[in-house]
Structures are given as structure tokens and as C-alpha cells.
Amino acid sequence: MEAATARARLEEMLADLEESARVLQHGDGDTGELTTVDQHPADSGTNLADADREEASLEILQAQQERVREALARVDAGTYGQCVDCGAALPDERLDARPDAARCVNCQQRAEAGGR
């Protein structure tokens, strides 16, 4: 994949992730409720579960943002498309599916298995 194409895709991904995080953090302000006062005792539990889910989602978005920023840094360094572990070229199909991919499939499997 060409560096300019990779940069454009990664910057678009980053903008989308940042917008998703912004919406998740601040919401659109409209809860659909007529009042902000809990109407039922279970509402507090639901609110807590929703807050936990939003926090977990935000952490995932932030991790994705970091991977995209690291990929952009690899574009700048001229190493985009090379496995960060073994240096092998990443197939275009892998980069098409995961523009932020840092490792070849074999090295990624080892990393996920804790072999790094």
C-alpha cells in the first residue's frame, strides 16, 4: 500500500475514532427522558451498568486511537507495512483489512499468546 493512501486511510480512521470517543464521553445531551430524576430504584443500577459499559468502550476506542497513531508514525518513519517484530512485509490484504496492523499474522499470534 502506498504511503499516501495509508496516511489518508489512517487519518480518516483516527478522525472517526475521535468523533466516536467524543460522542461517548459527552453524549448528545438528549436521553429521551422527561426528567433526570430516577423514577425507579433499578434505574440506579442500570445507570451504573451503562457507565461501566461506556467506560470500557472508551478504553477500547482510546487503544484503537493509539494503534492508529503508531501506524501513522510508521508511515512517517518509512516502516509502514513491515512487521515490527520480524521485519517481513505485510500483505496488502492485511493492510486493507487492518490499516493499523503492526505485525504479520504469525508474529501477531505469538504476541497475543504472550510469546513476546
With cut-offs at 50, 70 and 90, classify the pLDDT of residue 1.
Answer: confident
Contact residues for 105 (Cβ-Cβ < 8 A; gap 6+): 94
**Which pTM was predicted?**
0.75
Give me the amino acid identity at 90: L
CATH number at residue 90: 1.20.120.910
Q: How many domains does the chain divide into?
A: 1
In a domain, residue 58? The reply is yes
Residue 29 in this model has a pLDDT that exceeds 80? no
pLDDT top residue among 113 and 42:
113
Each residue's pLDDT tens digit, 35-65: 666 666 666 666 667 677 888 999 999 999 9
Q: Exposed/middle/buried for 4, CB within 10 Å: 0-12, 13-18, 19+?
A: exposed
Contact present, 58 and 21 (Cβ < 8 Å): yes
Contact present, 95 and 1 (Cβ < 8 Å): yes
CA torsion 70-71-77-83 (nearest 10°) is 110
